Amino acid sequence: MHLRLLGTIWGLVAFALADAGQHPLSAGSWSGRRWDDPPDPDATGHLLFDTAVNLLKHWSNAYHRNGHNVVSVAIPPGTLLYHGRAKLFYHSQGGIYDPTEPPTGPEWLTPDEDHALYFSAWEGHLYTYTATRELRLLYFDGTSAAVLPTGTQDTQDVIIYGNVTEFHWSPFIRITQLCDWAQKYRLDGFVRMEFDFEIMYCNFTDGLKLISDVDVVPAVFDPPEGWVGSLRPKNLVAYETIVAGNWHNWEPLAGMHVDYSKLISFYDPKYRSLVELRRKASSRSEHRLQNISASDVHTLFDDLDDILTRAPTDRGSRFDWRGLMRHIVEQFADRLQYLQHLVHAQDDRRPGEDGEPHDIASLIFNIRQQVLTMLAPYISRRSFATLPGGALNDTWYEQTIARCTSAHTAHLNTTQFTPQEHVLKSAVEETLHEICRTLVLIWRTAYTSESIISFDQQLGLVEGWKSEMDRLINWLDWAVWQQCSPACSEDHMCSVPQWPFDGILNGTERSTPRCISKLHWKPNNWRPSATAGDGMYSLGGQHQI
Ligand SMILES: *[C@@H]1O[C@H](CO)[C@@H](O)[C@H](O)[C@H]1NC(C)=O
Ligand SMILES: *[C@@H]1O[C@H](CO)[C@@H](O)[C@H](O)[C@H]1NC(C)=O
Ligand SMILES: *[C@@H]1O[C@H](CO)[C@@H](O)[C@H](O)[C@H]1NC(C)=O
Ligand SMILES: *[C@@H]1O[C@H](CO)[C@@H](O)[C@H](O)[C@H]1NC(C)=O
Ligand SMILES: *[C@@H]1O[C@H](CO)[C@@H](O)[C@H](O)[C@H]1NC(C)=O
Ligand SMILES: *[C@@H]1O[C@H](CO)[C@@H](O)[C@H](O)[C@H]1NC(C)=O
């Protein structure tokens, strides 16, 4: 370990619920409020929901870079993990590292060959390991391996230093500090993400078996004896690491099991000292753990103690939280996006571009249909008998929202929930409540809208719906809605910018996806190295995998 890239590394291195028996919702909830009250400005349930459903998915964690979750993950025996190292990597204490020797102490592993190959690209080795037993790891979400001063490593800093006051650059110091801390809990390491996922593994001689060692073909110089033709261009070797990360955009990384009953989130409203800074934030990229109070740090360590020393038999409710949250995203993501498109169809309309008649009367009919589609499971046919002619009242709205909000969780027996599961349940309900409330707000005027014939009134309705939808979409800010538009050509891939060599240099950059070339992609910050004038490039802060 303590491998250090000196300047010569080529690698870019570089709610009131109608049902009884609900667990009381935590702070930031909507209890005691009118059905049409907006969410508490300090609410975090939707943030906790969004980060929890996206654990181990690349796209969302690259879009929302600053992670807020710390969660136990397990790697089953037999899982393959890779490590690459090359001739030109240097030991931090000096001296050229011998690439023929696999690591012994703390070092990095990756679940993807193409990620490891990047680090063996100069006459290096690709080492393949298998887990000989279940590996116990702690996962930091977000782009937690990116060495940026803008919050990607706040969670780790709080664990290591107890505060977030300075920028700690060195990944080599960090791995030692985290692995020292890990000993107390007999953790094997940590899962993090940058352009792809990685593992900081604490002891290569414990829990791993080396099963293959290939002296892989170099990418840059010195073709092997007898080689004919070109080698892989270095920019494309680097590009393929981004490709490997993008393999995990929509399905969570395979080979790792997240234990949702052991999910600690800084979006848990009990971490009060983080609220103030969030109020000042203009977007999620400004959600940080700076100014965390000593008592909140104490709470974190108590929670870590709880999850990491819990008896293996205490597995909480064993409910499939990921499955539930995924279902909710599948149920609403495309439909909300399409409804957003419809309420804006008048603005975006360009003659001849779209065969759909988005005249105002059609739009009103179609928008009403879309809202009815989403609310349909929660609307009772009988409820209209006492409210004829469109006289829907507050009781009706409240009951419909309550049914919609609790539909997925009211049945859960909370007796065996871990403390973390109670927080997850609140997060799911808070998220659903706001989706349901917004739909019911639109439905309140859409229900009787088909009989309106005044153009100005029609336009006024759509304008009102538009602002409700814009607000909801912005509040949820789901990464699945970040797409390349227009779609990329066959020769391009849609990708969120990545540190360190694909558009993210200092963390102030936006994470809007764009098309990048499959054939001619180039790192945006390659700089000729002072010590290798022959086409070698360097970037500080990148470690070897
Ligand atoms: C932050 O933590 C470091 C290391 O634990 C400590 O030396 C320093 O005084 C702390 N800073 C503040 C402002 O609490
Ligand atoms: C690494 O694991 C091996 C095998 O369990 C053990 O002998 C060794 O002491 C461990 N090294 C450290 C630094 O804990
Ligand atoms: C965080 O602490 C610093 C230093 O004490 C202070 O200047 C800053 O205003 C605080 N920020 C918030 C959001 O409380
Ligand atoms: C709504 O209408 C129902 C049925 O007519 C009635 O029982 C209920 O009291 C009304 N609620 C409100 C808040 O007006
Ligand atoms: C909830 O689970 C507990 C423990 O498993 C059980 O004793 C209780 O009867 C269950 N309650 C309901 C309403 O099913
Ligand atoms: C961050 O990098 C961008 C270019 O990517 C630059 O325009 C900006 O000034 C830099 N900000 C800081 C604080 O270094």
Whole-structure pTM value: 0.91
- What's the N-to-C CA distance of the chain in angstroms? 10
Looking at residue 354, its pLDDT comes to 61
Contacts of 513 (CB under 8 A, 6+ apart): 63, 482, 483, 484, 494, 495, 496, 497
Find the 385 Cα to ligand 4 centroid distance in Å. Answer: 12
Looking at residue 19, its pLDDT comes to 31
The atom of ligand 6 lying closest to the CA of 504 is: 5
What residues in the chain have per-residue pLDDT under 70?
A: 1-31, 88-100, 348-355, 525-545
Looking at residue 301, its pLDDT comes to 98
Looking at residue 98, its pLDDT comes to 60
The per-residue DSSP string of 192-250 comes to EESSSEEEEES-TTSSEEEEEEE-PPPSSS-PPTT--S----HHHHHHHHHHHHHTTSS
Residue 119 tokens read as 């680090």
163 lines ligand 5 (CB under 6 A): no
In the chain, what are the domain boundaries?
Answer: 50-309, 317-348+356-481
Contacts of 432 (CB under 8 A, 6+ apart): 328, 404, 405, 407, 408
413 lines ligand 5 (CB under 6 A): yes
Contacts of 349 (CB under 8 A, 6+ apart): 358
Whose Cα sits closest to atom 5 in ligand 6?
Answer: 505
Phi, psi of 206 (to 5 degrees): -135, 110
Find the 29 Cα to ligand 5 centroid distance in Å. Answer: 26
Question: From the CA of 507, which ligand is nearest?
Answer: 6
Find the 20 Cα to ligand 5 centroid distance in Å. Answer: 15
Q: Rounded to an integer, what distance in angstroms lies between the CA atom of residue 113 and that of residue 197? A: 11
Looking at residue 228, its pLDDT comes to 95
Q: Rounded to an integer, what distance in angstroms lies between the CA atom of residue 189 and that of residue 107? A: 10
317 lines ligand 5 (CB under 6 A): no
Find the 235 Cα to ligand 2 centroid distance in Å. Answer: 38
The atom of ligand 3 lying closest to the CA of 280 is: 13
Looking at residue 349, its pLDDT comes to 61
Find the 290 Cα to ligand 3 centroid distance in Å. Answer: 8
Which of 181, 205, 209, 210 most suits a substitution to test ligand 2, by most atoms within 8 Å of the C-beta?
Answer: 205
Q: Rounded to an integer, what distance in angstroms lies between the CA atom of residue 495 and that of residue 502? A: 10
Q: Which amino acid is at 256?
A: M
Looking at residue 283, its pLDDT comes to 94
The sign of the torsion formed by the CA atoms of 152, 153, 159, 162 equals negative
The count of other CB atoms within 10 Å of the CB of residue 65 is 25
Which of 19, 313, 415, 418 most suits a substitution to test ligand 5, by most atoms within 8 Å of the C-beta?
Answer: 415
- Tell me if 255 sits within 8 A of 79, measured CB to CB: yes
3-class secondary-structure state, position 82: strand
